[in-house]
Structure 1
Amino acid sequence: MSSLPASTLPIINIAPFLRNDQPELRISTSAALHVACMKYGFFYLDISAYANPSETAKLTTLAREFFMLPQDEKDKISLSNEDHARGYARLKENVTNGKADNHEGIDFYKPVDNPDKSKPVWGENQWPEKPIEFKERFNDWVEKMKALGLILMEAMADGLGMTTNEWEELRSQVDDSFWVMRTIGYPPLPNDHDGFSCGAHKDYGCLTFLHADPTPSALQVFLRQPGAIGIDSARFPTEQGNEQGVWINADPIPGCVVCNIGEMWEIWTNGLYRSTLHRVVHRGSNYRVSIPFFFEPNFSANVKPLAAALRIQAEEDVEATGRPLVHRTPVVYGDFLLSKVGNNFSGSKGRYDN
């Protein structure tokens, strides 16, 4: 892990987990992941040894070509055609905390058996007919990110000190990931827009791998680090409640994806790892494109505190910290997902509303 200022996210290279002949580097990488997940909940994941930059460049080009199509062409794959979760959402159709987000996007989910568009998230994915290569290239990326999810999960399991059997049990909870992929387009934020490009939220799943075009000063992450030097966000309200810290920019770094943990990791680690608020404020003059991939647990996964995390917490001096060990409530991931995405389906709330 790079030695960086407190107001900068750490960079972690996944390369040692792509081969089996570097045990010492694997140990240091898993240790760095453990620290990053406890301290930040966000980090840059260097995947330059895993993915060719030409792959992500092509995805960005295809996404941009789609968003530049006439509105009626994009509307052919509208969310309303399916389950209100899979498909295209118009500009400001997505809502966060009661305010329309200034972006448009396409959502894809893991294909399901016996699809039924009357049920939330249980419809069929809608792929654009234009650009021609869109479906093929993005499906390839899905497979690559699913594999990366398992690689990173193993590295994180090592960081927690999990036994082989414990890792196999955790792996069985994510080996049929109910993944989600979004392709998002962000026009410049209008000065009079009562909201954000994407409002502050925490991801509710497992791991997020975000590829974005080179646009700087757009993605912002809230660091719980009083005294760190933050960005000027005077135009926007305080969204982190009583938590002390600052908003920093998480600008793209070549060869890296921005990675963050979701609320399922909070449960798995009994609060040792914490999901982190983030938002998008795109004030630039260009049209920004980002492609987040959400590596999630299996739909039927019973997510509960892991023994390895409880061992770490039990080693703390409870009397000194004054924090009794309280177990987080287990959840079935599919039920948790529906409680979130079902809000979109009803049309009454947004996916990230509290």
Structure 2
Amino acid sequence: MAEVSETSSELPIIDIGPYLDRRDDAARLVTSEALHDACVNYGFFYLDISKFVDADEPEELTRLAREFFALPQEEKDKISIRNQDQARGYQRLKENVTNGKADNHEGIDFYKSVDQPDKTKPLWGENQWPDVPNFQRKFSQWVEKMKILGMLVMEAMAVGLGMTTEEWEDLRSQVDDSFWVMRIIGYPPLPNDHDGFSCGAHKDYGCLTFLYADPTRSALQVFLRQASDSTSESDDLPTENGTEQGTWINADPIPGCIVCNVGEMWEIWSNGLYKSTLHRVVHRGSNYRIPFFFEPNFSANVTPLPAAFRIQGKDSVEALTDSKTYGPVVYGDFLLQKVSGNFAIEGKGRYD
């Protein structure tokens, strides 16, 4: 089994500030180059957002989350996902399953609002907001800020990948109506004899994940691939990744920063240059985390970018016949396949 490193210093810290203050072109380029290196080498990084978000704001969101999760079970069940489209709303403790094991957390999921909602269609219902004062208003404000942040990071990544202005505008048109997701997760202490994890090993299947993490240390663990003979094979990875070698490192919270990672859509856009990285949660505290998933538009046709081919030394014609070229996907179709049966009792989970 792969060991867990006690340090999180291996993940880089990147300041998004230069993309808020447009006066320093050189500083923006440094940020973009750092993002590119982080995505190539880790798929994970810390993003310093201290110039973008007041530290008190996510703390207030945590307070509101605590107020909701402290309600009696029957009150929380009033906004159960079973009332809607099996995606939007509250999930009980251990209702979600990853890799055949119950996840030791409870949560609420929100998605981008859709036209003509229909709760009989997967993902096409309506969001359910807790009856907690200021909850909807405060979290809706957070959504809007994370959408702005998502576009800033996408632009910075486009520069880091060497995209032209026209290529960036084309990519921008695939994320300018992001089918975003926000989760509010409550973690009770993980029992010593629990057969599973607070959230099992998985990769994110979207675009960018922005995690506001609670102060609990050694909870979020990131799997870093290593080719060295000194590393040991992990026996607790999903089946398709069970032969990978590497080590788990702790991505502990850093003040003023959120933890970010790229999902499978960026792996396609970059034709494999950027990897969606395995991660898991082993939470022995009692706290709350707020991941926001900045995703492509529901109708986006995600296909490898010419800039990625240039870095790989391929032209577009060669890439079409190369077996290593990633195939295109329509994000909405891909998402529907991923989330179907997320919370099924039969043992299929969100990340299976």
TM-score for the superposition, normalised by structure 2: 0.92
The Cα of 1:8 is off from its aligned counterpart by: 1.8
Q: Which amino acid aligns with 2:337?
A: S
User: CA offsets, 1:108-152, max 9 Å, x none?
Assistant: 00000000000111000000002x111000000000000000000
State the one-letter code of the partner of 1:287: S
Distance 1:216 1:150 in 2: 29
- Flag structure 2 segments of 5+ consecutive residues without an equivalent: 1-6, 316-321
SS in 1 for 2:204: coil
How far 1:244 moved relative to its partner?
Answer: 1.4
Name the structure 2 match of 1:334.
Answer: 332
For residues 312 and 343 of structure 2, what CA distance do their matches in structure 1 show? 39
Conserved? CA contact 2:14–2:45, under 8 Å: yes
The structural deviation recorded for 1:325 is 6.7
Q: Does 1:186 align with 2:184?
A: no
Partners of 1:222 and 1:277 within 8 A in 2: yes
In structure 2, what is the Cα distance between the partners aligned to 1:266 and 1:238?
Answer: 19
Match of 1:114 among 104, 113, 116: 116
- The within-5 A match list for 1:286-297 is 286-297=285-296
Are 1:144 and 2:142 matched, yes or no? no
C-alpha distance in structure 2 between counterparts of 1:7 and 1:315, whole Å: 35
SS of corresponding position for 1:344 = coil
Contact 2:219 2:250 in 1 (8 A): yes
Work out whether 1:305 is the aligned partner of 2:307: no
Does the CA contact (< 8 Å) of 2:162 and 2:307 recur in 1? Answer: yes
How far apart are the structure 2 equivalents of 1:223 and 1:156?
21
Distance apart, 1:243 and its partner CA: 1.2
1:34 counterpart = 2:44: no
CA contact (8 A) 1:229 1:246 kept: no
SS at match of 1:223: strand
1:96 to 95, 98, 101: 98
Cα distance in 2 between the residues matched to 1:73 and 1:226: 50
Determine if the alignment matches structure 1 residue 166 to structure 2 residue 197.
no
CA–CA distance in structure 1, aligned partners of residues 126 and 19 of structure 2: 34
CA distance in 1, matches of 2:335, 2:198: 23
Structure 2 equivalent of residue 320 of structure 1 = none
Of 5-14 and 150-159, deviating more is: 5-14
How many residue pairs match? The answer is 337
Shift of 1:6: 8.8
Q: Is the 8 A contact 1:13 1:29 kept in 2?
A: yes
Q: 1:8 to 1:306 in 2, by over 3 A?
A: same
Mark the runs of 5 or more structure 1 residues left unpaired by the alignment.
317-323
Per-residue CA deviations over 1:279-298 (Å, capped at 9, x if unaligned) read 00012xx3121000000000
How many angstroms apart in 2 are the aligned matches of 1:216 and 1:350? Answer: 26
Change (3 A) 1:124 1:6: closer
Offset of 1:241 from its aligned partner? 1.3
Mapped contact 1:313–1:325 kept (Cα < 8 A): no
For 2:124 and 2:147, the matched residues in 1 are separated by: 20
d(CA) in 1 for partners of 2:289, 2:160: 29
| Aligned-residue RMSD, C-alpha | 2.2
Of 126, 131, 138, 1:124 maps to 126
**Structure 1 residue ranges, 4+ long, deviating more than 4 angstroms after superposition:** 226-230, 345-348
Q: Secondary structure at the match of 1:343?
A: coil
**1:205/1:263 contact within 8 Å kept:** yes
Shift of 1:327: 1.4
Is the CA contact (8 Å cut-off) linking 1:7 and 1:229 kept in structure 2?
no
Paired residue secondary structure (1:314): coil
Q: Is the 1:36–1:43 contact (alpha carbons within 8 Å) kept by the matching residues of 2?
A: yes
In structure 2, what is the equivalent of residue 58 of structure 1?
Answer: 60
Partner of 2:214: 213
Q: Following the alignment from structure 2 to structure 1, what is the Cα–Cα distance between the partners of residues 251 and 343?
A: 31
2:245 aligns with: 244
Contact 2:8–2:251 (Cα < 8 Å) also in 1 = no
